[in-house]
């Protein structure tokens, strides 16, 4: 980026900041004006994010629920499936840990004949 482009971008940033409500300006100043980037690309919505197999969370949940043998499951069960799915797609360590524990526990029960 050339010096002129950087100056133009800084001028645009300042113009955006100056056009904001004082309350919003205060919020930005609290976090740090230098860290604030009004030109940052928005993150993908959850519905568009895809896993390694190129499936959305909605596709994965639907495919899983269709694959289970029980035709009846509770809302809590469905919410758990969705939470786990989104957590894994987002690579959230909490959900990765739960997933790995569940796999380990299943193998433990198999080894012990349950």
Average pLDDT (46-56) is: 79
Contact 40, 48 (CB under 8 A): no
Average pLDDT (61-79) is: 86
CA angle, 18 then 1 then 27, to 5°: 25
Average pLDDT of every residue of the chain: 88
- How is the chain split into domains, by residue range? 1-40, 57-111
pLDDT for the residue numbered 25: 93
Q: Which residue reads 């969705």 in tokens?
A: 82
Average pLDDT (54-63) is: 91
**Residues across the chain:** 114
pLDDT for the residue numbered 45: 63
**Rounded Cα–Cα distance for residues 51 and 57 (Å):** 8
- Residue 52, SS3 per DSSP: coil
Contacts of 57 (CB under 8 A, 6+ apart): 46, 47, 49, 51, 82, 85, 86, 89
pLDDT for the residue numbered 100: 97
């Amino acid at each position: 980026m050339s010096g002129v482009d950087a100056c133009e971008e800084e001028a645009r940033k300042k113009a955006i900041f100056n056009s904001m409500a004082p309350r919003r300006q205060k919020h930005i100043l609290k976090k740090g004006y230098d860290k604030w980037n009004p030109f940052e690309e928005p993150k993908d919505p959850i519905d568009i994010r895809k896993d390694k197999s190129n499936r959305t969370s909605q596709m994965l949940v639907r495919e899983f629920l269709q694959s289970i043998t029980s035709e009846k499951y509770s809302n809590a069960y469905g919410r758990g499936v969705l939470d786990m799915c989104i957590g894994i797609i987002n690579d959230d360590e909490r959900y990765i840990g739960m997933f790995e524990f569940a796999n380990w526990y299943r193998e433990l029960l198999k080894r012990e004949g349950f």
